Structure 1
């Protein structure tokens, strides 16, 4: 039986287009608003949803996502509340893949076995845990795979040919290419450089390659969508939430995601013409 992630990427390939992966932080700016934002994302054009697990020390994230994590924690969002958001989302949507993204500390604190069972029961499809390298696969990656969750690994511009096999060894679902060296949301990569990097990665793995870090506009999303299997947008969406009051945030986020989705969907059609 195919996972939701594999099913979605096969459908995207059949349509001849890239996917849009959207990132939001659970509980930002509060749990009720966060639930409304999540519910609206698929209709706005999100093909896969990454949900950030709020954490006090998000070392790989830039100012925007750090601030979103702080807002979520201040609103009372816990790991249990994050899983409840997914569970409630699944009552209306059983097809959109959900990936939890974050850091190992909250998972370790809860207990790996308990967390994995709760995640599967809630309807989570995959995990991105940025501070566990391949050398630590026994900690979470392999148990997650055994539980039926995809474990999505990150590759970066500094992942060379010697390191890449270790990164790919137990990766599943898709490979996330971080297009810049540094923290999220601070700058963008040149499309030509991304194209070369994606070609190198696709020569090494049959997994879809999603590209993120620094994508902030529909035009940039379209550039990436011409060369990658998916485009990941996080900080720009989180900025929209931060600039909106709670009542307006779901609609403002949805409108922005619609513009990104339009860029992604038109990208290859423009090339074909």
Structure 2
């Protein structure tokens, strides 16, 4: 069965809401969780996730918020911390990886850390049995893909197009998927622009999809109550999980 990976902005609008949302997502068929760490300059993200990031920071998000949420959700779902390198660097990679290990977090997704630099931290990750998720883009050459996926851990994040999250552009990913599969047995998940309309197509030839902006845009809808937001996101998750498996 193909898997659904859900991105959630940690602590938005608050910690209790995030905990309730994650619990509902699990019941709706979500298999893995990307717990997004709010950052002031999320360069790979579009306006939807960027807005949620800024609102979370304005609401007082701290790394301690992430740790408190993770202490609960990582026991429920396979959890990865998705964030930009700056907060990890300032906290210290040794300290942050140890904290992840202690909390049961499975690994890190750091979109602004180039593969060559990520290799420097691989020994530390491996020592603590944590994954550093690798990114592959449709613009990567076959040789580049072979170099990246050689070190793939956890899963491979296949970016659906060159751009930012939340857009609806699409590219033929079949050649890229074939190039990955030739070199690695690590599961491949497609992200960027995945929603109820695109999920079935994006899931072809891979092990699952990653959904972020389609969920987070509901969090930003001020016309909905907290309960309504959770119900709407859960329904989206159920629809997407069904579509990628039919």
Please give the range of the TM-score, normalised by the shorter of the 2 chains.
Answer: over 0.9
- 1:7-26 equivalences under 5 Å are 17-26=1-10
User: 1:31·1:75 contact (CA, 8 Å) conserved in 2?
Assistant: no
Structure 1 unmatched ranges of 5 or more = 1-16, 267-273
Cα distance in 2 for residues equivalent to 1:28 and 1:147 = 29
SS at match of 2:185: coil
Counterpart CA distance in 1 for 2:138 and 2:119 is: 26
Checking the alignment, whether the CA contact within 8 Å between 2:150 and 2:184 is kept in structure 1 is no
Residue 31 (1) aligns with residue 12 (2): no
Contact 1:33 1:249 in 2 (8 A): no
Normalised to the residue count of structure 2, the TM-score between the two structures is: 0.93
**Which structure 2 residues correspond to residues 51-130 of structure 1 after superposition, within 5 A?**
51-90=35-74, 93=76, 96-130=77-111
Q: Is 1:195 paired with 2:174?
A: yes
Q: Is the 8 Å Cα contact of residues 86 and 122 (structure 1) preserved in structure 2?
A: yes
1:263 counterpart = 2:243? yes
SS class of match (1:56): coil
Deviations 1:103-137 (A, max 9, x none): 11111111111111111111111211111112213
Unmatched segments (≥5 aa) in structure 2: none
**Deviation (angstroms), 1:58:** 0.5
Report deviation, 1:236: 0.6
C-alpha deviation, 1:33, in angstroms: 0.9
Number of residue pairs the alignment of both structures matches: 244
Match of 2:203 in 1: 225
Contact 2:135–2:158 (Cα < 8 Å) also in 1: yes
What RMSD, in angstroms, separates the aligned Cα atoms of the two structures? 1.6
Distance 1:50 1:166 in 2: 25
Structure 1 residues 29, 97: CA separation in 2 closer, same or farther (over 3 Å shift)?
Answer: same
Normalising by structure 1, report the TM-score: 0.84
Contact 1:188 1:215 in 2 (8 A): no
